[in-house]
Amino acid sequence: MFGLSWRPFSPEEEQRILQAIAEAEMQTSGEIRVHVDKWCKTNPLFKAKNTFIHLKMDATKLRNGVLIYVAKQEKKFAILGDVGISEKVPAEFWESTKDIMRTEFAKGDQVAAISFGIAEAGKQLKKHFPYDAGTDENELPDTISYG
């Protein structure tokens, strides 16, 4: 399911996304992942929830993982936070982040949309789960997964 048989982004675009993840995670104990599918024949939030479990994002110690799910060809996406972060952020956070991401997607800049989502998630994670040099460990890979 997660093998790479297509190149959704150029190496430079991938690097921009990975840099956004690295910058966000330097300030928090939270974990941010990006998963990109070519197609999503169902509701993207449903697919994101399944991907979240498959990537073991629900297994972090503080339940503070955030997944940005993108179906590139269909221009569908979802942003999903685990229970630890979801119960701490303002109720409108996920929707307001999606609204701005949607604007960037509409402009045709998927990398900017994804990077914005990462940065916004990082701000909330930093606020509620700040980085602690003594105890923080990287619990999930800082890579983009593909389907």
Structural contact between residues 125 and 85, judged by C-beta atoms closer than 8 angstroms: yes
The predicted-structure confidence for 34-55, as pLDDT tens digits, reads as follows 999 999 999 999 999 999 999 9
* Residue 108: burial class (beta carbons within 10 Å; 0-12, 13-18, 19+): exposed
Is CATH 3.40.50.1820 what the domain over 11-132 is classified as, yes or no?
A: no
* Residue boundaries of the structural domains of the chain: 11-132
75/102 Cα distance (integer angstroms)? 9
The predicted-structure confidence for 79-107, as pLDDT tens digits, reads as follows 999 999 999 998 899 999 999 999 999 99
119/138 Cα distance (integer angstroms)? 18
